Structure formats: C-alpha cells, structure tokens
Amino acid sequence: MAPLICDGVLDAWRSFLTAHARLTEAVDQRLTGAGCVSLGTFDVLLSVHEACDHRSRMHELADHVVLSRSGLTRLVDRLEADGLLRRERCPNDRRGAFAVLTDDGERALQAAWPVYAAAVRELFGGAFGQGDDDARRF
C-alpha cells in the first residue's frame, strides 16, 4: 500500500501537532523551572489581567482559554486555594461569578511574564523566520 500521508496540508498538520506538544512542554518547563506558575495557570492569570477591571466571568474565561466550564471551575478552585485568584459575586446576574486577580496573582503574573516572553520568543519565534525578533517592544 502506498503511504497514507502524501499531502502538503496533512504534513503541515502533523508538524503542527508535534510542534504544539513540544513547544508547550518546553515553555512550561522554562516557567516552572524558574519557580514561576505553570503555563496553564499563566494563561488564566493573563486572561483575567487583560479583561475589563482585571476581572472575568467564568464562562468568558473558559472560552478564552479553551477549557470546559467544569475544567475551569477546578482550575479556579486551585488558583483560589493558592491565593492567586478570588471569586466575586456578580451583582447583575446572581448566577454568575467573576474571577479576580489578587495581589499575589498580579505579582505571580508579573514575575512569570519575562520568563514567558523570553521562552516564547526563543522557542516559538525562533522556530519561524524570526522576522519579528527585532520588533520587541516589551
């Protein structure tokens, strides 16, 4: 039988899959190796930080980090236990809750940021034409 994969799009897809697995693993190891939060935690903290008033509804947060609602509930549980996030009741909608950055969460985000940025630029940016490497304006 001929090889199943003989198509540019499918080759690219497989490269995409392996690149994602290796890159996320490498970036996560940079973060945790430097004593920072994990990549998953960082994504959540950053999303909350970028939201209006540094707070985000749970379902919006779940959408933004591409996690199920239940998955986000547990993750926020952990971050709340770690003191990085806290929940706040939503005044308009008594069903809803906000995730809000605590001061510790803000500090953890700021501490992780340079590690994250450097790792992404080096590992991800370096894997491409690195045409933007001199466009750093951090």
Partner DNA sequence: AATAAATAGTTGCGCCCGCAACGACAAACC
Partner DNA sequence: GGTTTGTCGTTGCGGGCGCAACTATTTATT
User: Under the rule (CB under 8 A), what is the footprint of its own copies?
Assistant: 3-10, 12-13, 16-18, 20-25, 43, 46, 49-50, 66, 109, 113, 117, 120-121, 124-125, 128, 132-133, 135-138
Least Å from the CB of residue 125 to its own copies: 4
Least Å from the CB of residue 42 to DNA: 12
Q: Are 111 and 36 in contact (CB under 8 A)?
A: yes
Report the alpha-carbon distance of residue 27 to residue 126 in Å, rounded: 13
32 binds, among DNA, its own copies, none (CB under 5 to 8 A by kind): none
Which of 39, 37, 53 is closest to 111 using CA atoms?
37
Q: Are 69 and 58 in contact (CB under 8 A)?
A: yes
- Of 22 and 136, nearer to DNA (C-beta) is 22
DSSP string, 19-79: HHHHHHHHHHHHHHHTT---HHHHHHHHHHHHSGGGEEEHHHHHHHTT--HHHHHHHHHHH
118 binds, among DNA, its own copies, none (CB under 5 to 8 A by kind): none
- Of 93 and 103, nearer to its own copies (C-beta) is 103
Q: Are 85 and 101 in contact (CB under 8 A)?
A: yes
137 binds, among its own copies, DNA, none (CB under 5 to 8 A by kind): its own copies
Least Å from the CB of residue 133 to DNA: 29
34 binds, among its own copies, DNA, none (CB under 5 to 8 A by kind): none
Residue type for position 49: H
